[in-house]
Amino acid sequence: MFAIFYDSLIKIWVLITKPKLLDWIDDLEENVLSFSETNISLHKYGGTQFNYLKREFGHLHSNGILDILLDQQLKSKMLIAGRINDHHVFKNSGWISFYIQKEDDVEYAKELLQIAYSKIVAKGMPKMINEKPFRPLK
């Protein structure tokens, strides 16, 4: 609960200091919702979670940090290219972080989300055992 409250405070700060970022976040949410069988929900640590058939493939914090689930092989290749970073918390995983700081970053964020979406779709139906319920936003 604290994480969601904290993320809300960040969103207020962003509204004051960098309001354009909120437009970019809206654009990314709309983009993901255009993918088949997707929805968005609140992420457990704040921000917007992107789901395919109720299974997370990424999330976006209100400060513009986009976290995406890839596999470690693809992550390694992309880290070498230098546009993404190791996940800000889970370093030794398939998760990556991408910092949206300027308008040009939005298009690359869309590409990353498309890659993650394609990977999760290719895996097929998620196992629903022990899945935590999600809270749709839209």
Q: What is the pLDDT of residues 46-97, one digit of tens each?
A: 899 999 998 999 999 999 999 999 988 999 999 998 889 888 877 778 899 9
> Are 99 and 105 contacting, i.e. CB atoms less than 8 angstroms apart?
yes
According to the model, what pLDDT value does residue 85 have? 86
Q: Where does the pLDDT of residue 129 fall: very low under 50, low under 70, confident under 90, or very high at 90 and above?
A: very low
- The reported pTM is 0.82
Kindly list the structural domains of the chain, giving each domain's residue range(s) and its CATH number in brackets, ordered by start. 2-123 (3.90.1150)
Q: How far apart are CA 89 and CA 56, in angstroms?
A: 17
| 136 strand-pairing partners | 41
Dihedral over Cα of 50, 53, 54, 56: its sign: negative
> Are 50 and 115 contacting, i.e. CB atoms less than 8 angstroms apart?
no
CA 97 to each of CA 19, 78, 107, 127, 137: distance values in angstroms, whole numbers, following the listed order: 21, 11, 15, 25, 23
> Are 78 and 84 contacting, i.e. CB atoms less than 8 angstroms apart?
yes
